[in-house]
Amino acid sequence: MPKGKSREESIRESMNSPKKIDTNVSMKIPYSTQQFDASKHKFKCSCCGKGFNAQKSNFHKSNSPLYQSNNGYLPWCCECEDKFVIQLTSLFSGNEEHAIEYYCQLADWVYDFEVLKQAREISSDRSRISHYSAKKNLNVGGRKTFVDSLKFAYLNKQNEVIQSKEEIKTKDVSVTGTAIDRWGGGLNEWDYTTLEEHYRMLKKNNPNCDNNQEIFIKALCNLNWLMMKSLRSGDGDSDKYVKLTEQYSKTFKQAGLKTIAEKDSSNDETFCMTLGFISEYTPEEFYLDKDLYKDNDNIGDYIERHITRPMINLETGSNTRDVEFFVPDGDEYDEE
């Protein structure tokens, strides 16, 4: 144990340290000299092949469904278990916490800090794993398998508060800087995920919302977040949830939002139809600035010069020329 550190601090540091693998370590367990004999033994170690007449005290139990038909016992014996964990510790460059974590995955045992604190080395030739097995289901909040440990760690990670965008660079979280800018710091990963998912849904259904509706959308996201927290807490406060639902409905109606995605059909309409709709909702006579209707892009002049004039020449036989672009008569090139 490092000088100046408590056992708890050393275990926590060892658990959280980066994994260092010694590639020179070879994982080998020799066969037992007392091999299983069906006429003498009832049970066989799947690793060394040794025969036993009782599972208890020779094999450790697991709550994994993988071993339920084996009376809940692991198929490898306690001796092989010890040898394997000692080799795992060497593989992880002396880090026994990492070795036990790996073994817990294989045996589907709960992996927990509290159990590691209680598990002590039995002797110089025995690892902590036997003591860990005896303590693995004590004081761990009802968790019994490695899957339970994964769920527990996942929920704890989601509940870690994130204060700034700088923190997401160092934490393994699915929170974006945009989410923190939008909702502020001080929330956990679950909070940000809940808010962002509802925000994206409302924005997808209402892509053309204005700034005022944007304010309502954020308010709706907060209300939905409170509703989800109320359900998640499991406190049974149905009145609180009903009030939040009613307020959500009122806010949604006040905002004038849609529950299904809007379809932008402007590309499916003809130009004249589009102008017709513009005229219907913004009548021209209501505009005070009549200069809005001037030929700002000179399209009228272009039509007069390059479409109307040639058509008149073609139909009447006239020879009207464009005022700017025309080929002069030959005598205009004659020198004086």
pLDDT over 60 at 60, yes or no: yes
pTM (predicted TM-score): 0.54
**What are the residues facing 35 on neighbouring strands?**
50
Q: b vs e for 159-174, b when ≥16 Cβ sit within 10 Å of the residue's Cβ? A: eeebeeeeebeeeebe
For range 166-191, the mean pLDDT: 81
More confident residue, 203 or 297: 203
pLDDT at 192: 87
Backbone angles phi, psi at 187, to 5 degrees: -110, 165
- Mean pLDDT lowest among 65-79, 266-280, 312-326: 266-280
pLDDT at 156: 76
CA distance 279 to 288: 15
More confident residue, 268 or 160: 160
Residue 19, by phi and psi: left (phi above 0), alpha (psi -120 to 50) or beta? beta
pLDDT over 80 at 180, yes or no: yes
pLDDT at 328: 73
pLDDT at 331: 57
Which residues lie below 8 Å from residue 264, measured CB to CB, with a gap of 6+? 207, 208
For range 237-252, the mean pLDDT: 87
pLDDT over 90 at 297, yes or no: no
CA distance 217 to 196: 11
More confident residue, 111 or 126: 111
Secondary structure (3-state) at 35: strand
- In the chain, the DSSP E strands lie at 43-44, 51-52, 59-61, 73-77, 161-162, 187-188
pLDDT at 54: 96
Average pLDDT, the chain: 83
Q: Which tens digits make up the pLDDT trace of 94-105?
A: 999 999 999 999
For range 261-283, the mean pLDDT: 57
pLDDT at 292: 61
Q: Which tens digits make up the pLDDT trace of 186-216?
A: 888 888 889 999 999 998 888 888 888 889 9
